[in-house]
A and B are shown apart, each in its own frame.
Chain A
Amino acid sequence: MFTAFWDILTIDNLIYLFKGAMVSLSMAALSLFIGLIFGILGASAKISKNRLLRILGNIYVEVIRGTPMLLQIMLIFNVVPIIVTQITGEVFRMNYFLIGVVAMSINSGAYTTELIRSGINGIDKGQWEACETLGLSRWQTMRLVILPQAFKRIVPPLISEFITLIKDSSLVSIIGLVELLNSAKVLGNQYYEFMSPYCLAGVYYLVMTLTISYIAKKIERKLAVSD
């Protein structure tokens, strides 16, 4: 068993896993960013004065949070190409990486919606009232007074969301994308030994998540100083 481990532990294999890790990381980072945009839109809808927008925002959040991400990935993998083919009449095959990013962005957006909404709602009502009495519009109040304060509350949980996304990116392996988990599996198949590559993949995941949570702690401390 241990001979197998030393067989697998070659520079080439480590680089191969590293490439997989980069796929996972870039997928998570892209999804976090696009999810943030969805989150801003979702939160705007949820706190808007328009009832229809509020309902739509709620449906988005509840449906996404209430169903497994694995299901969402499978659905997008199966359904989107069919719809596109129906519309354009041409056979459409989506890039695996793209499917992962789309599914994870939609998923992350729902959680980010709630993060942003609670960050905004956590700001004292008196701030809104002070702006109202000074004649500022709702949008000016949001942009100049509320969001800068809410931002501080949103950043730390947003970084945790990033860590969650890195881990959840492994789910995209189900559709065949060779990210970190699948890279380990490929190595396992090659050497007929799975424990070592999976353990190595675990180490890669840990390096990514622990580094980010270390940075998160630093940022949190910095944000707390100006409080």
Chain B
Amino acid sequence: MIKIENIVKQFNNLKAVNDVSLEIKKGEIVCLIGPSGSGKSTVLRCINGLEKPESGHIYVNDQLLDEKDSENYKKLRGLMGFVFQHFNLFPNMTVLENLTLAPIQVMKKSKEEAEQIACQYLERVGLLDKKNEYPNKLSGGQKQRVAIARSLCMSPEIMLFDEPTSALDPEMVIEVLEVMQELANEGMTMVVVTHEMGFARTVANRVIFLEDGKIVEENNAEEFFKHPKTQRAQDFLNKVMH
């Protein structure tokens, strides 16, 4: 479903991503883990086109993600939902307006239809009663659940999560992970950059461990956490698992 070939992304001479290739199949849940600065978020942002890699290719559904082919580029990016660490809800709109903005503006849905779909997703993330609130009245966990619902309203085939729980108070983490777990159970293809090792272990099919912009180890979740092959992965797991 997604195929990345040899992407390189540089920030001021620093190679944030250095020759990374990977493939994600339909229905697969892949967690990208690694120390901060390892380039995992940058890989995720490249997949979606938020960052433009200096070299390498990204394929979505076997089609090249190419900015120059703007029609196709838009279509392919539309297949992917993106959830940010800092939610990025629109503070000038209510929860419902946050959810219906893109369906109305981009998919040209009627307001009624967009609202109906939005309410369905709000119900799924357990926040239907907050639909007329403004984001500043919500807790961090609620904001992130709204952000997930907002992405889902565009009916993506792939969901990309960029450290979705890193900005949350510890007691809020679980409610967001539960929503993600549910999505996973429904067969959504997911790529998750996370520091939640418990989530990676139980939900992910595959774990990719990055360091210094390179893939160091790649394995199914069970194997990776039980028997990490590389020394660097072992060191990392020793530090983060208590």
Contacts and interface: CB of A to CB of B under 8 A. Distances in A.
A133 B105 contact: no
Contacts of B59: none
Interface stretch (B85-93, B175-183, B202-210): B85-93
B91 A130 contact: no
Chain B interface residue bracket vs A: 20 to 34
B105 A140 contact: yes
Interface string A130-148: 1111111000100011001
A149 B105 CA distance: 18
B48 A145 contact: no
B101 A126 contact: no
A144 B50 contact: no
Nearest to B45: A129
Interface stretch (B29-37, B76-84, B222-230): B76-84
B92 A145 contact: yes
A124 B91 CA distance: 11
Interface in B92-122: 92, 101-102, 105-106
Contacts of A144: 101, 105
B89 to A, nearest CB: 8
Contacts of A140: 105-106
B80 A149 contact: no
Contacts of B38: none
24 contacts: A124-B88, A126-B84, A126-B88, A127-B90, A129-B50, A130-B82, A130-B84, A130-B89, A130-B90, A131-B102, A132-B49, A132-B50, A133-B82, A133-B151, A134-B102, A134-B150, A135-B74, A135-B78, A136-B101, A136-B102, A144-B105, A145-B90, A149-B91, A226-B134
Interface of B: 48-50, 74, 77-78, 80-82, 84, 86, 88-92, 101-102, 105-106, 134, 136, 150-151, 154
Given A130-B82, A136-B106, A145-B90, 13 more contacts: A126-B84, A126-B86, A127-B90, A129-B84, A129-B88, A130-B89, A130-B90, A132-B50, A133-B81, A134-B106, A136-B102, A144-B101, A149-B92
